[in-house]
Amino acid sequence: MSEMIQNIALAAAAAAERIAGQIERTELRRSEVFSTNLLANIFFKLENLQTTGSFKLRGATNRLMTLTEEEKAKGCVTASSGNHAVATACAMQKLGLSGVIFVPEQTSSVKVDKIRSYGGDVQFFGTDGLDTEQHARQYAEDNGMFYVSPYNDEQVIAGQGTCGIEMLEQYPEIDTVLIAVGGGGLIGGVGSVLKAHNSDIKVYGCQPKASAVMALSIAEGELLDMPSEPTLSDGTAGGIEPGAITFALNQAAVDEFIIVSEKEITEAMRLYVNTEGHTIEGAAGVAVASLLAIKDEIIGRNVVVVICGGNIADDKIAAIMGKS
């Protein structure tokens, strides 16, 4: 086991104690339909039911709670395609902090509305998440503020890792996990926790074909600067910051990547909503689509699929469900 994985797992244990009471301990729910149809034990970790509607509150809260008083006083800046921005706005409101939140121009209206509902000062910049991040970092530097990365920060990753701690407590028999990947913070944190517990647990990273930056970068052995196409999985779309610590962490913690098409994502989201009874966003649909793509590999296994978020505009989910 790599030292990096051990360090993140230890940091996640500390984060779990730190943020207890600030976040929801989300349900791990067994799906009778998916389990029966896939001949496996299929559980969904319902981070879509987390406060703010996604796992991102874990990392944002942990990072803000580890700031010094001087850093808090200067204010915070962050950048995100939506969920990290919503989470940071919520955490800042709870902790009495102020700051600026940059989002790409095409960010989902439901996410922008949520950011503002928590008092977040929203500013739009760029069309690719990486452009937005780089602009926000420069803004923070120019204004003497603290930049809260959506993924390129050990304390943010540790906060996301608390999801993995809960999973092990709720289902110690887990031997397979599927997680959608954008910047790689969630799978880096959860994967480290699971691998530190049992290195035989199979960790699958799931990405849309339209923006498979991490998967293709790891295949090439270096971070690639590549364009992303439009995708239902807006929460995982866009480039990855040069030098991101998640690259090496994903190399160490992820066993295999699965890349799925927009058609597969749409069909998986429709199936999930029809069988499980609640809506999910595109990034979560990527993980469900990936589960279906490897159905022959998971027969008889104890599988957890992380439903990373549920923030999706009504018109988009209506179109997916064929109601518009």
Model confidence pLDDT, tens digit, residues 310-319: 988 888 898 9
Q: Per residue in 245-277, is it b (16+ CB within 10 Å) or e — as a string?
A: bbbebbbbbbeebbbbebebbbbbbbbbbeebe
Q: Which domains does the chain have, with CATH numbers?
A: 3-55+154-320 (3.40.50.1100), 56-148 (3.40.50.1100)
Q: What is the pLDDT of residue 323?
A: 63
Q: What is the mean pLDDT of the chain?
A: 94
Which residue has tokens 């069309």? 127
pLDDT tens by residue, 102-124: 998 888 787 788 899 999 999 99
Say if residues 120 and 141 touch (Cβ distance below 8 Å): no
Spatial CB neighbours of 21, under 8 Å, sequence gap ≥ 6:
none
pTM of the model: 0.94
pLDDT tens by residue, 144-181: 999 999 999 999 999 999 999 999 999 999 999 999 99
> Is the pLDDT reported for residue 324 higher than 70?
no
How far, CA to CA in Å, does 211 sit from each of 46, 239, 294, 317? 24, 8, 20, 20
Say if residues 48 and 284 touch (Cβ distance below 8 Å): yes
Confidence of residue 234 (pLDDT cuts 50, 70, 90): confident
Q: What is the pLDDT of residue 41?
A: 98
Distance CA 239, CA 173 (A): 35
